[in-house]
Amino acid sequence: MFISKEKNLFFSQNKEKDELIRLSSYGILLFLVPILLSHQILVGVIVNALLIRTSFDHSLKKIFILCLLPSLAVVSTGLLFGNLTSFLLWVMPFIWISNFIIAYVSKKLFLEKKKNYFFSTAMASIAKTLFLFASVTVLFLLGLVPLLFLSAFGIMQLATAESGALIVSFLRVRK
């Protein structure tokens, strides 16, 4: 688990309550990181790390809602994309799906198929990036989003997803 397994005053003997606390903590972080940090790369790395880590601790049904939070935070504040934030409304459903893709593929390959962690997260990062880039490319060709979005939702997604996976691997070794 991401949060300490040690029994202390904060955690109860009730596993459901502990899980709810962890899930809520991830949700709060996934919402606040895009609001508190205004650097797109840093936000992307942290969000991807949290999505991967969350997928290992919780069922996919429970984390689906968490996949919505980062982009909702970005749109509600307008900080990351500035005057281009309105274009993000077209991309949001694809961001939600791509966030779920990285969580699903990471969990499926690493925990269920017992594949190597780095292979699992690399495949998840690639799947997320390909889906998101293809979606944004179609939106660009339809004239719905600016050219800048192709780089923001292309190679940058791969870099932030892989960086997030590395952070999770470091945290897993350190626990």
15-174 maps to which CATH number? 1.10.1760
**Higher-pLDDT residue of 53, 85:** 53
Q: Which structure tokens are listed for 72?
A: 């909702």
Question: Burial code of 115-128, b = ≥16 C-beta within 10 A, e = fewer?
Answer: eebeebbbbbbbbb
**pLDDT, tens only, 93-131:** 999 999 999 999 999 999 999 999 999 999 999 999 999
**Residue ranges of domains in the chain:** 15-174
**pLDDT, tens only, 42-82:** 999 999 999 999 999 999 999 999 999 999 998 888 766 67
